[in-house]
Amino acid sequence: MAVRPLDHLVLTGADDSPALLLRDRVFTFQDLRSRIAALGGWLADQAGGPGARVASWAAKGELTCLLPLAAARAGLIHVPINPLLKRAQVAHILSDSGARLLIGSAARLATLEPDDIAGLYRCIEEGAALAEAAALERALPPSAADPDDLAAILYTSGSTGRPKGVMLSHANLWLGAESVATYLDLRSDDRTLAVLPLSFDYGQNQLLSTWYAGGAVAPLDYLTPRDVIKAVARHAITTLAAVPPLWVQLAELDWPGEVAGHLRRLTNSGGALTVPLVRQLRGLFPQARLFAMYGLTEAFRSTYLDPALIDSHPTSMGKAIPHADIIVVNDAGAVAADGEEGELVHCGPLVAQGYWHDPERTAERFRPAPAASRYGGLAVWSGDRVRREADGLLYFVGRRDAMIKSAGNRISPQEIEDAALATGLVAEAVALGVPDPRLGQAVHLVARALGDPAAAAAELPRRLAQDLPNFMHPRAIHWREAMPVGPNGKLDRTGLLEELIG
């Protein structure tokens, strides 16, 4: 298909159709086009020549929703910063990216020290930026950028070290939007509730794929899961994406039937759905199609499971999305046989351009595609262990660097977590390998009880001893009233491990 510059995504939406549903007003596609043209003109005036980086650090709103396309129109590279990050991480991202301009909320900008922003041409509050853009009256025409030009740098959460910037082109983002809009069957009458961070690859795609289809997006920074229910009701939302910790919380709430009935599709990313959670969601939203998906920032999205198979294959990652070629490579470097475990390798035009100014880590992750690839070129070697069964469906085994190695056994944390969740005693669970002088690593389980905590604490060890082989039994179970989550909304495994090691 033809790939166009990223800002062209909003050119085909009907002029008077709603495109952006804010708390205090609704922008049509015509409104979006005029505001992107004006903001793009202001950015070009402020940020310098083509290829300059413009960073944003603010909650969801008009500015953060328009910037990905306005920066692209101006020939700039957008660097969205997760609003949950703290000063040290933000300072690193600003320095590493070489950002020329930072636009943010006043409260966030006030936390930065002079040295943090010394390399910037300008640091400006978001309301002032929008006002200056409107006053400048310099409207840029649609971009004529090469689709291979860099459009964004998305920084990973930094859970395994300092955040690193993934370089995404216009083509990466355009094809990601087209791919997701296609397999989700998004339409112009759809309304997407954007609860994921816009600095997160799928969070940004909530905007892009919906606008590609001519639909409307309602951005939401929620304080409690109940805010999500209120927003679904207020905007008649049809599409909701979340990560598993949020789905767990949403499934524990009472949904009025008329509100639940608005939803046509539910999509999951950032971790596998458990079988009990799938059953809960299917019971709460029987009319909605549930899409289980797998992805990585370096290639955006890799697989999805056809919703027609979610009841019969609830633990599957599904098959490759449009524009992706997914190959499982075994430890001998050959294409894995059916049922054989191997590393997931993602090939094709969704593969990012590498890590910003980091050739060493780029060379580790971005390597030539296997000979079996129909695309060739560079591929992302994910580090995730999967297997493909004879029917073509893929199943996640575990991250190569997250496997627990205990007394010579390679143990998948997910297998232990699934066993704990399957007992019905646990709402959330994280299995970790804690250093041990005799075993190498000892299995520890951190869990949040479902129901009576005392009853769960008494019964769970017996159930796990019954369901798991001896070498998988947790040496200790640590109970929490609430599980910590990181800036990306996922359970904070690194933080939990640091807490246990103490």
426 has which bridge partners? 449
169 has which bridge partners? 150
Higher pLDDT, 276 or 327: 327
Mean pLDDT in residue range 395-415: 80
Match 């008494």 to its residue by tokens.
Answer: 458
b/e per residue, 291-311, with b = 16+ CB within 10 A? Answer: bbbbbbbbbbbbbbbebeebe
The whole-number pLDDT of residue 348 equals 97
What's the CA gap between 403 and 397, in Å, rounded? 9
Parts of the chain belonging to CATH 3.30.300.30? 404-501
pLDDT in tens, 253-263: 999 999 999 99
Mean pLDDT in residue range 224-237: 97
Mean pLDDT in residue range 203-221: 97
What six digits make up the tokens of 465? 């001893």
Mean pLDDT in residue range 165-186: 98
pLDDT band for 72, please (50, 70, 90 cuts).
very high
Instruction: Please state, in angstroms and as integers, the Cα–Cα distance from residue 362 to each residue in 39, 246, 365, 366, following that order.
Output: 33, 32, 5, 6
Parts of the chain belonging to CATH 2.30.38.10? 315-399
> Do the beta carbons of residue 455 and residue 461 sit within 8 Å?
no
> Do the beta carbons of residue 251 and residue 277 sit within 8 Å?
yes
Percent of residues, the chain, with pLDDT higher than 70: 98
The whole-number pLDDT of residue 269 equals 87
Please, what is the Cα angle at 474 between 472 and 475, to 5 degrees? 120
pLDDT band for 1, please (50, 70, 90 cuts).
low
Amino acid, single-letter form, for residue 303: T
What's the CA gap between 197 and 481, in Å, rounded? 25
The whole-number pLDDT of residue 253 equals 96
Query: What CATH architecture is 404-501?
Result: 2-Layer Sandwich (3.30)
Of the ranges 19-23, 307-311, 494-498, which one carries the lowest mean pLDDT score? 494-498
Name the CATH topology of 315-399: Luciferase; domain 3 (2.30.38)
Task: Give the CATH number of domain 26-145.
Answer: 3.40.50.980
What six digits make up the tokens of 33? 């086009």
- Say yes or no to pLDDT of 307 above 50: yes
The whole-number pLDDT of residue 156 equals 83
Question: Going along 144-288, which residue ranges are E strands?
Answer: 150-155, 165-169, 191-194, 216-219, 239-242, 265-268
Contacts 24+ apart (CB under 8 A), 83-89: 83/57, 83/58, 83/59, 83/108, 83/197, 83/199, 83/221, 84/197, 84/487, 85/57, 85/487, 86/111, 87/111, 87/112, 87/113, 87/116, 89/158, 89/162, 89/163
Question: Sign of the C-alpha dihedral, residues 97, 301, 158, 160?
Answer: negative
Q: Give the pTM.
A: 0.86
What six digits make up the tokens of 426? 């646990």
pLDDT band for 161, please (50, 70, 90 cuts).
low
Report which secondary-structure segment, H or E, holds 137. Answer: none
What's the CA gap between 452 and 414, in Å, rounded? 24
Of the ranges 138-147, 321-330, 408-417, 464-473, which one carries the lowest mean pLDDT score? 408-417
Please, what is the Cα angle at 45 between 40 and 49, to 5 degrees? 90
Residue partners of 137: CB distance under 8 A and separation at least 6? 38
Q: From the CB of residue 254, how many other CB atoms can be counted at a distance below 10 Å? A: 8
What's the CA gap between 266 and 259, in Å, rounded? 14
pLDDT band for 131, please (50, 70, 90 cuts).
very high
pLDDT band for 412, please (50, 70, 90 cuts).
confident
- Say yes or no to pLDDT of 159 above 50: no
